[in-house]
Amino acid sequence: MNTTDNKKLKLPAEKFFIIVVLIFGVFSTFLTTPLSTGDEGYHLSYAYNQFSSTHPEVMSKPHLRMMEGEAIGGATGSTAGISIKDTILKKVDLENDGVRFNLINNGNSFAPVNLMHLPASLGVLIARFIYPSIGVMDYGGRLANLLFFALCFYFIIKKSKQGKWLLVMLFTVPYLMKVASPSYDIFSFIVFAMFALNFLELTQVKSFKELSRKQKLYSLVTILLLFLAKKNYVFSMFAFIGLPMFYRPLVTYVQKMKKGIKIALSLVLTLLIIAALAVFNEQLGLVNFTKVFFHNYLNFATMGPNARRMWMITPMNLPDFFNIIWVLLLCWVAMGELPQVYSKWTVWSSGMTYLINWVGIFAAIYVGNRALPVFDELSGRYLQPFIIFFLPALQNLGAKHNIQLSEKTIATIAKVSTITIMVLYLLIVFYRGFVLRIKPTGVV
């Protein structure tokens, strides 16, 4: 098996990662028109107001949301009517705003405070003192989040025992649109990656007693951080049921039970499942819930644009062909870089975590839209990070079929695919944003 000794290569995976991400991010910051990376007006408002004492109207969420709509073309799809130059160079009236730290709760995490915008907030604050225009402050938030993203993932990849070139692919291409933006997604991506990679390491631990004090503490930290990230990332804790240290003692205990106790336990579990389904049916309507889910994501005739592009992991402004090729390369690298053996239950529960996240987010949206036969509010970016939970299945296949790739081959695949997608993305956002004058990061 390929153990991926990074020292054999002149440029280790983590160093390649930080170099290409920083270069890409800087170009993306200035080649992507301001307020056009997806909900950017919303995020810029929160980032600015985290260090504001008077909260000026020009930096309010409604005002920046309006500017964001214009920046991505609004109803017409054209941005020809706005001046990009003015957005960048025209200073705005901040009404003699001072500096005061605010832990604004935006309701997007389970914690009562908003720390997700903090890195971008610092960048916006610095930009505000340098040149207080919407564009420059937006650039400040983008660059600060970029630096935070690059540094954190550098150390995450360096520390990880997983195949490092695989992680380079996983932590670049799916996140390209958000790498240089003031979005809270950056904080959430980092927290989720810490949790998911720690989970994969814990799958190799047979019992709780084998855990070191450091492993226990780090695991606790990754769990607590999930509650500071976007709410849907808490669904990733479902994967814990697949850890051998949890399910094996339970299986052993059940196997030692007498037959009568096993039957009684089975009846109790069956009743609990029926009761849970009854409550679910009463609250959401099981039949209608299933019907709407089917029409939203499994019926091509009724699904909306977001659902049709849900499986796009590469940026949505690239042709589908690149997505197919990249996914195939990712699977190849996952199977050939560091094959590991996982139990069947670990593989199944990890894969189910992806589905739990998908259905969980859908359920939250469904509650407010249950009267509608179809709605299209769930996009693929909420699911993309969770593809990491398919690694146990892919690595099992690699080990089972003895798939081995040389480190040079793996590194070449990761480098070429990542750089190719990055370059194409930059060319497209520049051409769409500055030449065609339409939404640069979407598909309109």
pLDDT in tens, the chain (444 residues): 444 444 466 899 999 999 999 999 999 999 999 999 989 999 999 999 999 999 999 999 999 999 999 999 887 889 998 999 999 999 999 989 999 999 878 889 999 889 999 999 999 999 999 999 999 999 999 999 999 999 999 999 999 988 999 999 999 999 999 999 999 999 999 999 999 999 999 999 999 999 999 999 999 999 999 999 999 999 999 999 999 999 999 988 888 888 899 899 999 999 999 999 999 898 888 999 999 999 999 888 888 888 888 889 999 899 999 999 999 999 999 999 988 899 999 999 999 999 999 999 999 999 888 878 888 888 888 899 999 999 999 999 999 999 999 999 999 999 999 999 999 999 999 999 999 999 998 754
CA-to-CA distance for 435 and 347, rounded, in angstroms? 47
Tokens of 426: 């930059």
Tokens of 308: 């049709």
CA-to-CA distance for 267 and 261, rounded, in angstroms? 10
Strand, helix or coil for residue 438:
strand
Eight-class DSSP state of 381: G
Backbone angles phi, psi at 9, to 5 degrees: -100, 145
Residue 248 neighbours by CB under 8 Å, 6+ apart? 206, 207
Burial class of 111 by CB neighbour count within 10 A (0 to 12, 13 to 18, 19+): middle
Strand, helix or coil for residue 133:
strand
Residue 279 neighbours by CB under 8 Å, 6+ apart? none
Residue 261 neighbours by CB under 8 Å, 6+ apart? none
β partners of residue 59: none
Buried b / exposed e across 122-137, counting CB within 10 Å, b at 16+? bbbbebbeeebbbbbb
> What DSSP letter does each residue of 10-68 carry, written as one string?
SS-HHHHHHHHHHHHHHHHHHHSPTT-SSSHHHHHHHHHHTT-SS--GGGSHHHHHHHH
Question: Would you state the pLDDT for residue 233?
Answer: 97
Question: Would you state the pLDDT for residue 4?
Answer: 43
β partners of residue 438: 78
Question: Would you state the pLDDT for residue 255?
Answer: 86
Question: Would you state the pLDDT for residue 8?
Answer: 60
β partners of residue 414: none
Question: Would you state the pLDDT for residue 77?
Answer: 82
Question: Would you state the pLDDT for residue 443?
Answer: 59
Contact call for residues 4 and 160 (beta carbons, < 8 A): no
Residue with tokens 């054999």: 8
Contact call for residues 302 and 366 (beta carbons, < 8 A): no
Question: Would you state the pLDDT for residue 379?
Answer: 81
Question: Would you state the pLDDT for residue 304?
Answer: 85
